[in-house]
Structure 1
Amino acid sequence: MVFQYKRVLLVGATAGIGAAMADKLIEEGAKVIAVGRRQERLDAFVAKHGPERASGIRYDVTDRTGLDAFVSKVVETYPDLDCVFLNSGTQTAVRLTRPTEIDIDAFHREFEVNYTSIVNLTLKFLPYLEKKDSPTSLIVTGTFLSLVPAFVLPAYSASKAALRSFFECLRRQHQDFSKIKFIEILPPVVQTELHDYMGIERGRALGMPLADFTERAYAALASGKEEIIIGNLQGATPEDIELFLEKRKLLFDSLSNSLALHFQP
């Protein structure tokens, strides 16, 4: 199968998974609007692929005051936009045993990048995606750590758990009447800049090779899946993860069905 969306806004596209997926989507025929903070990387992306298929917008997802202007610029400049791919993320280790050494602003910024900013962008782009006559999608990059936290990464694990809960609620509330497809990708540890806080040599050697992940993620997107699970958690088999998610979904569906009796969309 082929990825059905033709114009993708990819937020968090200047490094790691975002940059690799932007390249892959263009390779497979989509047009990509890359969004990130580093102008030189955006310029390099456009130069690499050409302005007919690639474009770039510099925007910091934590800039809430500029959010409306950013969204307006995107939808006015690219009326054929049919896919919003929210991939921004940051990760740091936090020693909760040393509370006086914790940078509280940095802790909250991690939540803002990984969760709050994605909620903000989702809510702003939803009305636009809903109005489209053609199929549209909203994609987020999650993590296995939204299911089982890494104790040395409390801000990252908690922010991604919040994102998963929000996204499941979003999908369920739109289940019976929306044309939007809500897609969550759950990657394993992947060899990217995300782990540079460990030291570049060590951090970028950790996990699944980025090229392998990218091929598998694209294949799953092209197949039409809404929940894309790639790789595994240490100490678990693929069957363990599948059973865990199946049980979790049964519980979620049971609770959702009871609440739906009193829910007015």
Structure 2
Amino acid sequence: MDLKLNDKKVLVTGSTSGIGKAIAAAYLKEGAVVYINGRSQERCDAIAAELTQQFDAADRVKTAAADLADGVAADALVAKLQAEGGIDILINNTGIFEVKPFEQITDAEWMDYFNVNIMSAVRLSRALLPTMLENDFGRIVNISSECAIKPLGQMVHYSVTKTALLSLSRALSELTKGKNVTVNSVLPGPTWTEGVENYFDTLSVKEGKPAQTLIDNYFAEHEPTSLLQRFVSVEEVAEATVYLTSNRAMNGQSLRVEGGIIRAL
């Protein structure tokens, strides 16, 4: 299937690892020009070199290092992108998460989560959406989570920010009426990433159990409603994201890629 993404310019935030890196790779596979984003220029360069070799895409992999929790840095990144011809597709993937008791989450931590998980998307969308509307082409996807609909008590701050991303997406989609511009959300379920692997390694030490045992028992003990009964792969999230941006009729949508965990029609 030709998704008509050849030569489209794509910015994937937080794309030096995990879901973001997989999304960047999926767009390169479709012939797009992809900007790799992370806080470290060195890390962005390393991933760009890796993906360039993997897809033989010397002219289609670029870097856009910036800490998007910093408004000044985000503005500088937008200026760079606009000077290079702008962006057709924005994937707001940058985010942080941790497991922490609600009563221990400080005001400063709450503000940090809002700044990284929500304001990074707000800043870039606010800067890039007007040009998309003017050009009558653009796609924005906010990477949310199944936690947005099924909040987790052990990750209250993370869950709240992911719910806010759904509202942001739907509200922005209302601004695109009659235009060839879409704004959507993708809701991954538990996905196997480097961060999740590190979580199980830490939990293994804490509980004195082999990490593989904790992984094998995770869905039976913590996600019994999952129909998939395994972790979603980053490639599965990436494929859904890329497809979502190829279909004009999918606008204001929340696409679940969570293995059936959410018991709802």
So what's the TM-score if we normalise by structure 1?
A: 0.78
Confirm or deny: 8 A CA contact 2:10 2:34 kept in the other structure: yes
Query: Could you report, residue by residue, the CA deviation over 1:51-95 in whole angstroms, capped at 9, with x for unpaired residues?
Result: 401011210111112232221111112x15311111111111221
Structure 2 match to 1:106: 109
Partner-residue secondary structure (3-state), 1:36: coil
CA displacement at 1:178 relative to structure 2: 3.3
Confirm or deny: 8 A CA contact 1:61 1:117 kept in the other structure: yes
CA displacement at 1:37 relative to structure 2: 1.1
Structure 2 match to 1:232: 259
Confirm or deny: 8 A CA contact 2:146 2:262 kept in the other structure: no
Structure 2 match to 1:169: 171
Confirm or deny: 8 A CA contact 2:69 2:115 kept in the other structure: yes
Confirm or deny: 8 A CA contact 2:110 2:157 kept in the other structure: yes
Structure 1 match to 2:159: 157
Confirm or deny: 8 A CA contact 1:144 1:233 kept in the other structure: no
CA displacement at 1:108 relative to structure 2: 1.9
Structure 1 match to 2:235: 211
Q: Which amino acid aligns with 2:62?
A: S
Distance in 1, matches of 2:30 and 2:133, equals: 25
Confirm or deny: 8 A CA contact 1:2 1:222 kept in the other structure: no
CA displacement at 1:28 relative to structure 2: 1.6
Partner-residue secondary structure (3-state), 2:184: strand
CA displacement at 1:124 relative to structure 2: 1.3
Q: What is the aligned length?
A: 232
Distance in 2, matches of 1:127 and 1:70, equals: 16
Structure 1 match to 2:124: 121
CA RMSD of aligned residues (A): 2.5
1:128-147 residue pairs with structure 2 within 5 A?
Answer: 128-133=131-136, 135-147=137-149
Distance in 2, matches of 1:17 and 1:123, equals: 23
Q: Which amino acid aligns with 2:98?
A: T
Query: Could you report, residue by residue, the CA deviation over 1:151-177 in whole angstroms, capped at 9, with x for unpaired residues?
Result: 1110110011111112111112x2434
Unaligned runs of 5+ in 2: 203-210, 217-229
Partner-residue secondary structure (3-state), 2:37: strand
Task: Give the % identical residues.
Answer: 25
Distance in 2, matches of 1:107 and 1:208, equals: 27
CA displacement at 1:41 relative to structure 2: 2.6
CA displacement at 1:235 relative to structure 2: 6.4
Distance in 2, matches of 1:182 and 1:235, equals: 22
Confirm or deny: 8 A CA contact 1:192 1:204 kept in the other structure: no
Unaligned runs of 5+ in 1: 244-265
Q: Which amino acid aligns with 2:92?
A: L
**Distance change >3 Å, CA 102–CA 219, structure 1 → 2:** closer
Q: Which amino acid aligns with 1:56?
A: T
**Distance change >3 Å, CA 110–CA 204, structure 1 → 2:** farther
Confirm or deny: 8 A CA contact 2:141 2:183 kept in the other structure: yes
Structure 1 match to 2:78: 71
Distance in 2, matches of 1:130 and 1:235, equals: 34
CA displacement at 1:231 relative to structure 2: 2.9
Query: Could you report, residue by residue, the CA deviation over 1:228-256 in whole angstroms, capped at 9, with x for unpaired residues?
Result: 222335363xxx3xx2xxxxxxxxxxxxx
Structure 2 match to 1:259: none
**Distance change >3 Å, CA 83–CA 145, structure 1 → 2:** same
